[in-house]
């Protein structure tokens, strides 16, 4: 966000990471999305 990355670019990057890395990347993706959401000014996301 601070470097000018759009949400669309971040989403695409995470999708590629999941495709390449497989399900082992899911915990890292969750953490990345939580941080991204907080950077955008959102409240904390709680896991289901």
pTM for the structure as a whole: 0.69
Report the domain count for the chain. Answer: 1
Alpha helices by DSSP H, listed for 1-48, are 7-21, 26-39
Q: Are 20 and 12 in contact (CB under 8 A)?
A: no
Q: Find the domain containing 45 and state its range.
A: 1-48
Q: Would you mind telling me the total number of residues written for the chain in this entry?
A: 48
pLDDT band at 48 (very low <50, low <70, confident <90, very high): very low
C-alpha distance across the termini of the chain, in Å? 26
Per the model's pLDDT, the better-predicted residue between 35 and 48 turns out to be 35
Q: Using alpha carbons only, how large is the chain's radius of gyration in Å?
A: 11
**Per-residue pLDDT tens for 3-45?**
888 889 999 999 999 999 999 999 999 999 999 999 888 755 5
- Can you read off the two tokens belonging to residue 24? 């082992």
């Amino acid at each position: 966000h601070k470097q000018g990355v759009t949400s669309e670019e971040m989403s695409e990057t995470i999708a590629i990471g999941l495709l390449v890395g497989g399900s082992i990347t899911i915990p890292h993706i969750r953490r990345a999305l939580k941080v991204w959401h907080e950077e955008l000014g959102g409240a904390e996301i709680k896991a289901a």
